[in-house]
């Protein structure tokens, strides 16, 4: 921008260094669509209210649509020395259509303009992320459906604990992603309010109608208080927090995928499309993709803390500090979208090695709790005593190099003669898994119930989003 369109007071050209610190165009140019969309809605409202003429609106609308095409075709490059995207587009508009362009900024300030553009951007991307979350949940559900009786060692402290099924394990992640989805949708609705028309901080003496811009832009209604609106970045903080939490979930899943693909587990095999080789060790197949997904949480958390820190202690209303709100949000959104797409592709194409999962269930005496429960339920032994008897059985199995489910009735009775024959089938891992048939439990039947409930929920969301 050669002429300063927003500086009646400043006569000298800014120093190069000031521009470098001050200009946001290098990163806020990403908001060009939202800026144009917002300006068209604002100009429409101005003309409806008789604040500018219908002819001016037509010119502005035509000019802005042309600028959109110029930007998308690369004819208008957003790399000049304009301070920000708002000045760049307004400057270009005036260059193209003259006086009508100069009327666009009536009853508006960059403070409500940037609040609008940024909010539109966050809202649009919130929906994109939510849709991708649904897709990931569907993929998990499909894989879970095929594995409701695939045995897997359920762990606590990363130690074998009780037998579960693989579908049940996947449904735990589907449940996390469901909560993530709900968080995105809830902040979408809470923030679906239009900031435009707040002007610099106090509203405007022009007879504007904020309902018109609000409904034209797809918001529920205008925000309540202009002073708050121009300095509110909660909507951005919410999306950052939602992304951080979601990526934390993805990092946990990724960690398990990394473990499962190792030689020690071999529970899954990643598709060659999602693994990489080593430059020196020809035999290696590395899980770089889940490792990167696991690591992405770091930058997202950084972006969240950065904006929380920028906003802390800021007096009302707009302060230039708030220009620092954007890069982290753009980065977190980009990271979230890519991570979700990659995760979905990787999970839908990985191979599940059922036999290895089931084999691993023979390590760690997974059905020991079933023996203790049997002693309590069938023989009437107090739980703490049953716990110690079971400990004795586990020791015997260890000494014999067997799993508890492989012991004979004689072996079991050598520890406690009260143990009866019916216990044998209870100690089988699949029976043990299916015995956990309480609501939300791991039995195949309960897992199928969870899959069904989640599938119904997905269908409802698809109608809404
Ligand atoms: N580039 C600025 C930002 O991103 C736009 C708002 C500037 N407003 C102002 N009064 N300086 O925050």
Encode pLDDT of 233-281 as tens digits: 999 999 999 999 999 999 999 999 999 999 999 999 999 888 788 787 8
Of 13 and 27, the one with more pLDDT: 27
Percent of the chain predicted with pLDDT > 70:
99
If pLDDT is split at 50, 70 and 90, which confidence band does 4 have?
low
Catalytic residue among 157, 263, 279, 438: 157
278 catalytic residue (yes or no)? yes
Cα–ligand 1 centroid distance for 4 (angstroms): 15
**What average pLDDT is seen over the chain?**
96
Burial of 205 (0-12, 13-18, 19+ CB in 10 A): exposed
Q: Given the structure tokens 């990394």, which residue do they identify? A: 258
Buried b (16+ CB within 10 A) or exposed e, 145-171: eebbbbbbbbeeeeebebbbbbbbbbb
Q: How far apart are CA 118 and CA 235, in angstroms?
A: 9
Which of the four pLDDT bands, split at 50, 70 and 90, describes residue 2?
Answer: very low
**215-220 average pLDDT score:** 98
Share of the chain above pLDDT 90, in %: 92
Q: What confidence tier does 285 reach under pLDDT thresholds 50, 70, 90? A: confident
Q: Which atom of ligand 1 is nearest to the CA of 118?
A: 4
The predicted pLDDT at position 84 comes to: 98
Arithmetic mean of pLDDT, 102-110: 98
111 lines ligand 1 (CB under 6 A): yes
For residue 322 and ligand 1, the question of a CB distance below 6 A is answered with: yes
pLDDT digits (tens, 9 = 90+) for 334-382: 999 999 999 999 999 999 999 999 999 999 999 999 999 999 999 999 9
User: 215 φ, ψ to 5°?
Assistant: -75, -35
**Among 72, 105, 73, residue whose Cα is nearest residue 87:** 105
Torsion sign (Cα): 108, 109, 110, 116:
negative
**What was the pLDDT predicted at 278?**
79
Q: CA-to-CA distance for 77 and 70, rounded, in angstroms?
A: 8
Confidence (pLDDT) at 281:
81
Is the shortest distance between the CB of 231 and ligand 1 below 6 Å?
A: no
Whole-model pTM? 0.95
- Asked if residues 287 and 257 have their Cβ atoms less than 8 Å apart, the reply is yes
Q: Is the pLDDT of residue 1 over 50?
A: no
């Amino acid at each position: 921008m050669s002429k300063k369109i927003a500086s009646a007071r400043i006569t000298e050209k800014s120093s190069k260094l000031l521009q470098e610190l001050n200009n946001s165009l290098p990163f806020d140019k990403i908001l060009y669509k939202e800026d144009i969309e917002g300006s068209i809605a604002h100009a429409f409202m101005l003309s409806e209210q008789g604040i500018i003429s219908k002819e001016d609106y037509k010119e502005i609308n035509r000019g802005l649509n042309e600028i959109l095409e110029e930007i998308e075709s690369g004819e208008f490059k957003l790399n000049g020395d304009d301070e920000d995207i708002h000045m760049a587009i307004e400057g270009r508009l005036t260059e193209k259509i003259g006086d009508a362009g100069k009327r666009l900024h009536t009853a508006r300030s960059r403070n409500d303009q940037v609040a609008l553009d940024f909010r539109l951007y966050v809202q649009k991307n919130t929906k994109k992320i939510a849709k991708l979350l649904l897709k990931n949940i569907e993929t998990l559900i499909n894989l879970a459906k095929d594995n409701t009786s695939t045995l897997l060692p359920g762990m606590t402290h990363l130690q074998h604990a009780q037998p579960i099924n693989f579908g049940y394990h996947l449904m735990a992640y589907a449940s996390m992603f469901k909560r993530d989805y709900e968080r995105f949708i809830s902040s979408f609705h809470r923030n679906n309010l239009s900031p435009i028309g707040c002007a610099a901080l106090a509203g405007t003496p022009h007879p504007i109608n904020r309902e018109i811009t609000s409904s034209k832009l797809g918001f529920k209604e205008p925000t309540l208080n202009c002073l708050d609106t121009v300095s509110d970045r909660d909507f951005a903080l919410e999306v950052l927090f939602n992304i951080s939490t979601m990526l934390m979930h993805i990092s946990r899943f990724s960690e398990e995928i990394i473990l499962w693909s190792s030689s020690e587990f071999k529970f899954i095999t990643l598709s060659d499309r999602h693994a990489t080789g080593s430059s020196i060790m020809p035999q290696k197949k590395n899980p770089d993709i889940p490792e990167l997904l696991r690591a992405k949480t770091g930058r997202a958390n950084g972006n969240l803390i950065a904006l929380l820190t920028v906003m802390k202690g800021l007096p009302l209303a707009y302060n230039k500090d708030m220009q620092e709100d954007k890069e982290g949000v753009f980065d977190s959104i980009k990271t979230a979208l890519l991570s979700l797409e990659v995760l979905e592709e990787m999970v839908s194409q990985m191979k599940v090695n059922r036999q290895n999962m089931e084999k691993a269930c023979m390590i760690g005496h997974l059905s020991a709790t079933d023996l203790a429960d049997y002693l309590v339920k069938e023989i009437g032994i107090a739980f703490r005593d049953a716990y110690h008897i079971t400990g004795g059985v586990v020791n015997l199995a260890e000494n014999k190099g067997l799993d508890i489910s492989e012991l004979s009735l004689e072996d079991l009775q050598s520890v406690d003669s009260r143990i009866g024959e019916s216990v044998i089938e209870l100690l089988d891992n699949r029976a043990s898994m299916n015995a956990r048939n309480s609501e939300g439990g791991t039995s195949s039947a309960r897992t199928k119930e969870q899959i069904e409930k989640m599938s119904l929920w997905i269908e409802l969301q698809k109608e809404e989003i």
